[in-house]
Structure 1
Amino acid sequence: MIPKSFSLKNSILLIALVLLIDQISKVYIKTNFVLGEEVEVFSWFKILFVENEGMAWGARIPGEYGKLILTLFRLVAICGIGYWLWDSVRKVSPRVLIVAISFIFAGAMGNIIDSVFYGLIFDSSSNQVATMFPPDGGYGTIFHGKVVDMLHFPMWKGYLPDWIPFWGGDYFVFFEPVFNIADSAITTGVFLLILFNKKAFPKKDKEQDSKPSESTEGTSQD
């Protein structure tokens, strides 16, 4: 019988598996690809090595300390997600909720590893294949690493019809963003929460404020 909940041990194993796949893929890309290098697997799927210095969609926090603020925010967020996971396991929450949180935690942790450590353990990938643990030091300092992305799915490219408002006639790529395994894990977790929302957050049956009192055995007779 499949258990309705998910143990903390199983959650840790799932997180470790996602992190392992994520980090192996990133280290391989960093040590075998030059920044911007592309390999076509299918016409709709390519391995494209890019580095993300900031948030999703390439957004950045401006200023000298923008990157540091972003990394520290990620560390605070991962602590919150970790507590959410621990509390959900403690309360024997539905399995789909714990699995979803585990995916989100693993994905967030995978990108945090890049942000915190990659600047120390890799040199630059610009115009060269990066070296892991270079003798002259990495390309950055702690908390200033860049997130490695490589999964690209340009399923459709072309010019949009002129009748489309605002974007008509523009060149458009679907799907343009480049992401990684960690991003995929976060997306999977969020997707599970949306798709199985009622199972993940079941509404507790409202107990009646008062139960009808049971009649005493026998009835009183005049």
Structure 2
Amino acid sequence: MKIPRITWAAYGFALVVIVLDQLTKYWMLDGLSLREVGRVLVLPPILNFSYVENTGVSFGLFGGGAARWALSVFSIVVAAGLAWWALRAKRRTLVSAIGLVIGGAIGNAIDRIQYGYVVDFIDFSGTGVFPWVFNVADSAITVGVLLLILDSVMSERKAAVGAAPEKA
């Protein structure tokens, strides 16, 4: 089976997200020793690097660690399903969205398998607006989902504009 060129873009986005996610986590854990330090003030109170072991999913839901393997398998299955979808995708926004979500899902699955939790460290909680701590993979998933919604809305509008009006 020949993989379409546009599909390679999705896989490329995923690979970039995985590499950036894992490199930033490595830097936080081993470069800044964030696990031992706990918090590094970057632009207080707006941005800090805070060490958080997220045993759940987004924003700590389903935490506690009991779902480690189920969440890991789920992330990999979602990534595989999206990789299959990318083979059929034709629109750039959709391909970009799929790649970002694949990369984020795999980046966090690597953490769950390796540590038993996801390493979160980007902390904007000092603003009082966004209380959660997150990572590059979480950001990619969020942007990817927003792009999926945007692509869906744009596709529906294009289809509605292209549809012929009904005659009475």
For normalisation by structure 1, the TM-score amounts to 0.62
Residue in structure 1 matching 2:111, options 110, 114, 122: 114
- What secondary structure, in the 3-state scheme, does the structure 1 residue paired with 2:142 have? helix
Are the counterparts in 1 of residues 54 and 60 from structure 2 also a CA contact under 8 Å?
yes
Q: Structure 1 residue 178 and structure 2 residue 106: aligned? A: no
User: By how many angstroms is 1:199 displaced?
Assistant: 2.9
**CA contact 2:34–2:40 (8 Å) conserved in 1:** no
Structure-2 residue corresponding to 1:187: 142
1:46–1:97 CA distance, 2 compared to 1 (3 A): same
Contact 2:55 2:63 in 1 (8 A): no
**Unpaired stretches in structure 2, ≥5 consecutive residues:** none
Matches of 1:155 and 1:194 in 2, distance apart? 29
- Find the aligned partners of 2:153 and 2:66 in 1 and give their Cα distance: 41
Q: Offset of 1:115 from its aligned partner?
A: 1.3
1:53 alignment partner in structure 2: 55
Contact 2:98 2:144 in 1 (8 A): yes
The answer to whether the 8 Å contact 1:61/1:67 transfers is no
**Cα pair distance change 1:6/1:190, threshold 3 Å:** farther
Q: Report the secondary structure of 1:87's partner residue.
A: coil
> Quick check: which one's helix share is greater?
2
Amino acid at match of 1:54: G
Aligned partner of residue 88 in structure 2, secondary structure: helix
Which stretches in structure 1 are left out of the alignment for 5+ residues? Answer: 120-144, 157-172, 209-222
Secondary structure at the residue paired with 2:35?
coil
- The answer for the alignment partner of 2:67 in structure 1 is 66
Identity %: 30
Which residue pairs with 2:125 in the alignment? Answer: 154
Q: Secondary structure at the match of 1:54?
A: coil
**Counterparts of residues 193-212 of structure 1 (less than 5 Å):** 193-200=148-155, 202-203=158-159, 205-206=162-163
Larger-gyration structure (1/2): 1
CA RMSD after TM alignment = 2.6
Letter paired with 1:86: L
Q: 1:14 Cα shift?
A: 1.9
On the 8 A contact 1:6/1:98 being kept in 2, the answer is no
The answer to whether the 8 A contact 1:49-1:148 is kept is yes
Higher relative contact order (CA 8 A, sep 6+): 2
TM-score (norm 2): 0.80
